Structure 1
C-alpha cells in the first residue's frame, strides 16, 4: 500500500505543470447548446433524437465512448501526435469539446472546425442544431433535462445551499475557455495575476447573453452574472493571488479550504459535499472514514473550483461567453498573444498593476451589465480592451506562428479589434436585432445564429 498523500504531494501536482517555452501549448474548450429544430427544446439524454444519439453518432469519426454505468457520458479521441481530446456533457446537455493541447491558434481553429463539422453532420440527421450563446435565451430552469452523471446529482443538491444561481450555472450557461502553460512558478504568478485582472475585460469583449426566457434580462453577460451568486467559496477574483508571496503553495491552501463535492470510488460518486479535503488527508472524511485520497481525488477536487482563472497543471481562462466559431478562435488568439509573449505580458501587467482589490471586484460585476461602457481606475473598459487587444496582436506577431498559407495568428483577433473599436458588444448587437428585425422574437436567434 502506498503512503498517504502529503501536502507537498499536492503542491507538486501543480508545479509539475512547469514547461520550457518550446513545449508551451494552447488548449481550447467550448460549449454549445443543443436544440431540436422544430420546437427548439433542449433534448433529453434518452429521447430518440437526443443527447445519447448524438454521442453514438459521433463514434463514426473515431471517438471512443466513456461510460458511467450503462450510460455513455463522454467521448475521447487521440490526434496524430497522440494528444487526447474529449467531448463531454455539461449538466443540461451542453456539448463541450475539450480540445487537445496544440501549438498554434491555427491548429486550434482547424480542430474546432473539424469538431463543428462532425457535430453538425450528426445533428442534421437528428434534426438538432447547436447554438453558441452564454446563457439559454428561451427555456426556464425546470424545462431543461438533466444528464445522467453522478457528480451532477450531488452538485444539484448542494448548489442551492450556497448560492441562488448555481443551478442556472449548471443548466443554462455556456462558455469558451483557453488553457495555457507556464515556465516557472514566477511565470505562473505573473500570468495568473495579469489574466485574472483582465478577465472582466475579456468578459466584456465576449459578452453574448442578453436574453432569459424569451426577453432581455438587463445583462450583457448573464452568464458572468450567474457566477457572482453561485458559491462564494469557489468562485470569483480570489484576491489572494495579488498578495505578496502568492504561489503554488498558497493555491493549495485555497483548494484545501474549499468544501468538497464528491469522491469517486469504483465508478460511483460518494457525496462529500461541504466536507474538507484537509480531513480527507488525515483519513477523517465523514463520507469515507478511514480512507485516504489518491492523486486522482485531488485532481477531481481541483476541477470543482471555479474562479475566473483556475490553476491546475496549467492556467485556465474562464471569462468568456459562448459564441460562434470565429470567437472560439479569437479567445485563443487573445490569451496566447497576451501571455505567450514576454513584452506583451509585461505591458498588460502594466495596464492592471495599479488596480486594487475593490477595482477588481467592482469591475467583475459592472461588466455583466455595462460591458465595454464600464470603467475601472478612471479608464473605460473600452479603452483598456483596445490596449489589451493591441498588445495581444503584437504578441501574436512576435510569436511568428504561420499557417500553411504563410499567414500569422494576428487575424484571429480582428473581430475583437472591431468590437473594442466600436464599443458595441455582441450582446448589444443581439439586442439591436431583437428590437429591430426580430420584432421582439427571441426565437430568431436560433435561426440566425445556429451553427
Structure 2
C-alpha cells in the first residue's frame, strides 16, 4: 500500500496540564504489563442482556426477581472475599479465573481469563452457565447475546446502583450521541491479548485498529435497535464513534512512526476525565461520598488527582475513561464486537490468536498494513457503514478479507433478519 505518514500531533501545548508524575505512573504500569515471549494469554469478556421470558423486555437491577436477586442467588458459587458491594448493594462476584460484574443497564458481564488456549473459554464459560441457568429459570428471565436490547428502549432501563453511573449519565447525556443508548442497552464481546514490550504493544494496537472494523462486520450481531429492526450496518461502531470524540475512535497519532507509550499517556491524561473517581484516593477520604464521584466536563487527571504517583486504582480509572477501538492497559483490549454466543466468541478468540500470536500471520499483517494511516482506517470504517457488503476496506472486497483473515465459514451478507442463521436465537 502507498506510504503516507500521519501528520505528527504536537503535545507541546498540553505540557502545563499533564503532571509528569502521572505520566511516569502510566509508563511504569505499561512496562509492568509486558509478558515474556511465548507466554501469550487471552482474556475474554462477554456481556449479556437480561430479558424477561415471554415478553423479551429488559430486566433491571431493582425489580422483583431481577438482577439483584440473581447476584444474591449466585453468591454461594463465588468467593466471599471477591464480592463487590456499592451503596449497600451487591454489584459483583468473583472467583479464580472468572468475575461477574454489571454494566450500567444491568447487563451481566462475564470476564474470563487468563486463558492459554482459546478452547479453554468453553470450559470456564460452560460452568458459569450450568450454575446460573437454573437460577434464571426460577426467576423467569434469561441472558441473551445481542448487541442491543431486543424490545426495550434506553429510556425504560434504569442504571444500577454504582455511583459512577450517575456521573456518567450526566456527562454522556450532554455530549455527542448515543451515550444513554450505549450505557443502558448495548452489550459487547471483548478479547484482550498480551504484549512483550513497547514496540510489540504499538504494533498490535495498529493491527487491531486496522482489522477491527472488518472483523466487526463478520461478527456483527445486532438485529434490533430501540425496539425496531436495526437500520445500521455496524451499530456498535456507530454508537462509539458518535459518543464523545475526545475519548473514542482511533488513538491520536497511533500510525506516526514516532508514536510511543508516552504519547498515549499524555493523550489520556490531558483529556477531561468524564467523571472523577476518588474512592481510592487517600487525600479525599474525608469527602462526602457524593463528591467522590462527580462529573468532570473539563477537569483532567492532573486537576483531579494529587501531585504524586498515581495508585493502581487511579491508573485504571484514567485508562478506563477512554474508549478507543483498541485500548491499552497492562494488556491490549480489542473492543469492536457485539455480544456473541459462546461458540462464536470462541471462534473470534481463535481468530484473534491466529492473527496476533502466530508469527507468520503477524508478519503478513504488518507487511500488508505497512504505510497506512489513520485516514485509511477511518475510510474503511466509514465505507463499511455506508456500503455494507459492497464495501471495499483498504481497497479490497470483503471476500478478500474473509480469506486473508481466516474467516471462512462466516457469513458476509446482512444478518439484520432475526431468523438469519448467523444471528443467535434467544
Fold shared by both chains (TM-score > 0.5): yes
Shift of 1:367: 2.5
Shift of 1:354: 4.3
**Secondary structure, aligned partner of 1:154:** helix
Higher RCO (C-alpha 8 Å, min separation 6)? 2
State how far apart, in whole Å, the 2-side matches of 1:67 and 1:156 are. 20
Shift of 1:9: 2.2
Shift of 1:277: 1.0
Shift of 1:120: 1.4
Contact 1:88 1:95 in 2 (8 A): yes
Q: Describe the superposition over 1:382-433 as per-residue Cα deviations: whole angstroms up to 9, x where unpaired.
A: 32232012xxxxxxxxxxxxxxxxxxxxxxxxxx4212xx5225x2453758
Q: Report the TM-score, using the length of structure 2 for normalisation.
A: 0.86
Residue among 323, 326, 330 paired with 1:309: 326
Q: Does 1:423 align with 2:412?
A: yes
Q: Does 1:21 align with 2:20?
A: no
Structure 1, 274-283 or 20-29: larger mean CA deviation? 274-283
1:210-359 matches, within 5 Å, as: 210-260=223-273, 261-265=275-279, 269-274=292-297, 275-280=299-304, 283=307, 293-359=310-376
**Secondary structure, aligned partner of 1:449:** coil
State how far apart, in whole Å, the 2-side matches of 1:56 and 1:368 are. 41
State how far apart, in whole Å, the 1-side matches of 2:24 and 2:371 are. 33
Structure 1 residue aligned with 2:172: 159
Structure 1, 314-323 or 359-368: larger mean CA deviation? 359-368
Q: How many residues are matched?
A: 394
More helix by share: 1
Structure 1 residue aligned with 2:109: 96
Shift of 1:145: 2.3
CA RMSD of aligned residues (A): 2.3
Structure 2 residue aligned with 1:36: 52
Shift of 1:60: 2.6
Instruction: Name the CA shift for 1:224/1:63 in 2 (closer, same or farther; >3 Å).
Output: farther
Contact 2:43 2:191 in 1 (8 A): yes
State how far apart, in whole Å, the 1-side matches of 2:252 and 2:21 are. 28
Instruction: Name the CA shift for 1:125/1:44 in 2 (closer, same or farther; >3 Å).
Output: same
Q: Does 1:380 align with 2:356?
A: no
Q: Report the TM-score, using the length of structure 1 for normalisation.
A: 0.82
Shift of 1:66: 1.0
State how far apart, in whole Å, the 2-side matches of 1:116 and 1:382 are. 35
Structure 1, 10-19 or 350-359: larger mean CA deviation? 350-359
Contact 1:176 1:331 in 2 (8 A): no
Shift of 1:350: 2.5
Shift of 1:6: 4.4
Q: Describe the superposition over 1:268-318 as per-residue Cα deviations: whole angstroms up to 9, x where unpaired.
A: 6331512111334565xxxxxxx9853321211111110000000000000
**Secondary structure, aligned partner of 1:23:** coil
Structure 1 residue aligned with 2:151: 138
Contact 2:40 2:194 in 1 (8 A): yes
Instruction: Name the CA shift for 1:279/1:217 in 2 (closer, same or farther; >3 Å).
Output: same
**Secondary structure, aligned partner of 2:405:** helix
State how far apart, in whole Å, the 2-side matches of 1:51 and 1:316 are. 27
Residue among 88, 97, 102 paired with 1:70: 88
State how far apart, in whole Å, the 2-side matches of 1:355 and 1:244 are. 11
State how far apart, in whole Å, the 2-side matches of 1:371 and 1:346 are. 28
Contact 2:380 2:394 in 1 (8 A): no
State how far apart, in whole Å, the 1-side matches of 2:219 and 2:140 are. 28
Instruction: Name the CA shift for 1:221/1:119 in 2 (closer, same or farther; >3 Å).
Output: farther
Instruction: Name the CA shift for 1:13/1:424 in 2 (closer, same or farther; >3 Å).
Output: same
Q: Does 1:61 align with 2:42?
A: no
Contact 1:348 1:388 in 2 (8 A): no
Q: Describe the superposition over 1:3-53 as per-residue Cα deviations: whole angstroms up to 9, x where unpaired.
A: x94422221111111111233211000101001113222122122210011
